[in-house]
Amino acid sequence: MASMETLAPESPADRAHAAPSLTDRLFSSALGALDLAGVYLGDRLGLYRALTDTGPATARELASRAGIDARYAREWLEQQAVTGILEADTLNGETRFSLPEAHRPALVEPESLEGIAPLARMVAAAIGRLPELVDAYRSGAGVGWERYGADMREGQASFNRPAFTHLLASEWLAGIPDVDARLRAAPPALVVDVACGEGWSTIALAKAYPNARVIGVDLDGPSIEAARRHAAEQAVPSVEFRHADAASLEERAEVAIIIEAVHDMSNPVDVLASVRRGLAPGAPLIVVDERVAETFSAPGDDIERFMYGWSITTCLPDGRSRSPSAATGTVMRPATLRRYAEEAGFRSVEVLPIENDFFRFYRLST
């Protein structure tokens, strides 16, 4: 039988000073995961957009606008209001739901630096592969990028789009004065965006540097198809996308850039060596990758937790899906990139003094 001390209720002061238990923490994580599920539905079904474009709606009105079932609409609207994403206003027994103005940048503005909705697609794609990951962890095999589907591919592209649109040229490359000047000058410089994905970085380069010739290359066919579509929609006909690897380029680039991709590569040294051979004399390779800690320590901060989460679910399994594999994972520390660069024949690696919460910037010189 429990003692009276065990059964005695905690006072508010006791609860305020008690450290959250692991159970409390994981319960909060579950709430967050379910919030992301709601955001996924609202984003994929166009529900936030319907509330933004046409204004507040009842469940039946939203169902009509978005082409979904009214009963599901009501449950989703109520969940979103209960969790504080939507606001609910009841008058004469009828409840209308609205998306607060302050929440719109996060959910419906594709170029906002506050945009977070695409992250829900990425998380859904990663969690959807968990049964395959169980098998991969046992066998040592991998789970290739293509297995994560459109939600991962499009989610990552959309998640990075605002930073590429607003920061890539104006802050990141502007922080490398000689590179920025060469891309603005005549005669046109050739810049190659290696592993360009759906091309938002390449498009941003072409817009910012109209004097430059910009080529994006990627081995993923659906990504290149999407990149070409995005360029057409953005009216940037000068940019060129190729379904190819870096070694296939016959032209000599005066600047090459690889954004958030080296850590995913099964053979990073070979890819870096191919890029080096394709550079004009003295031309730099700019690598943008995750701003993880210099060395492992535990517990880590939120950025470290975030990056390890992607590593165990996505990046390491993808890197191991081809053989041989360096098995780098998302948490590629500076010493690892330096080693890869040296083995690829680069003379030096400089960590650039460009501030960003998520990315670290490297200049690889020949």
Residues 55-112: tens digit of each pLDDT: 999 999 999 999 999 999 999 999 999 999 999 999 999 999 999 999 999 999 999 9
What would the two tokens of residue 86 be? 């939507």
**CATH number 1.10.10.10 is the correct assignment for the domain at 24-107:** yes
pLDDT value at residue 14: 56
Q: Report how far residue 145's alpha carbon sits from residue 155's, in angstroms, rounded to the nearest whole number.
A: 13
In the chain, % of residues over pLDDT 90:
92
Tell me the per-residue pLDDT of 317-359, one tens digit each, with 9 for 90 and over. 999 999 999 999 999 999 999 999 999 999 999 999 999 999 9
- Categorise residue 92: left if φ over 0, alpha if ψ from -120 to 50, beta otherwise: left
What would the two tokens of residue 61 be? 């009105």
| Confidence band for 120, pLDDT divided at 50, 70 and 90 | very high
Are 250 and 279 within 8 A, CB to CB?
A: no
Are 97 and 77 within 8 A, CB to CB?
A: yes
Tell me the per-residue pLDDT of 277-309, one tens digit each, with 9 for 90 and over. 999 999 999 999 999 999 999 999 999 999 999
164-295+323-365 is classed in which CATH architecture?
3-Layer(aba) Sandwich (3.40)
193: burial class by Cβ within 10 Å (0-12, 13-18, 19+)?
Answer: buried
CB atoms within 10 A of CB 107: 23
pLDDT value at residue 37: 98
Comparison of pLDDT for 6 and 71, the residue scoring more: 71
pLDDT value at residue 10: 54
Which pTM value belongs to this model? 0.91
What would the two tokens of residue 100 be? 């607060």
pLDDT value at residue 233: 96
In the chain, % of residues over pLDDT 70:
95
Q: Report how far residue 64's alpha carbon sits from residue 296's, in angstroms, rounded to the nearest whole number.
A: 52
Q: Tell me the average pLDDT across 108-123.
A: 98
Domain ranges of the chain: 24-107, 164-295+323-365
